């Protein structure tokens, strides 16, 4: 499994886990990434993770929400999945704010945090 190979590759750099994000996580692999101590990026798009996947991840990993960052790799063609997800009532405003903005601001040390 690719996720395990990545985690094995990063073992010598364990001291830097708080500054690393493993992107394109799916419900199948995100648990390994989070329990290993890394930040997890979840790419919301028709070809990566769906809104249903995000809801499953949030439900299963509530204790790790501070290390989950939702993103999109949209460019051309434009995927409106992230915009649509933000507009729904799913998960609540605070959780959506955390996984789409606040966690990334803290990780990248930008914004008002």
Give the tens place of pLDDT for each residue, 82-96: 778 888 888 899 999
Count of residues making up the chain: 113
Is residue 59 a contact partner of residue 52, using CB atoms and an 8 Å limit?
A: no
Beta carbons within 10 angstroms of residue 39's beta carbon? 23
User: What pLDDT is attached to residue 101?
Assistant: 92
| Structure-block tokens of residue 5 | 């190979």
pLDDT digits (tens, 9 = 90+) for 93-109: 999 999 999 999 999 99
What's the mean per-residue pLDDT of the chain? 90
Average pLDDT over residues 18-47: 93
Q: What is the CATH number of domain 2-108?
A: 3.20.20.140
In this prediction the pTM is 0.89
DSSP-derived secondary structure letter, 70: E
């Amino acid at each position: 499994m690719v996720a395990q190979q990545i985690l094995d590759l990063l073992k010598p750099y364990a001291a830097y886990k708080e500054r690393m994000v493993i992107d394109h996580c799916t419900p199948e692999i995100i648990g390994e990434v989070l329990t290993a101590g890394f930040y997890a990026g979840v790419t919301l798009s028709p070809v990566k993770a769906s809104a249903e996947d995000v809801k499953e991840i949030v439900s299963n990993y509530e204790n790790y929400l501070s290390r989950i960052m939702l993103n999109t790799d949209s460019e051309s063609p434009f995927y409106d999945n992230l915009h649509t997800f933000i507009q729904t009532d799913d998960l609540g405003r605070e959780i959506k704010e955390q996984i789409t903005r606040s966690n990334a601001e803290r990780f990248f040390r930008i914004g008002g945090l």
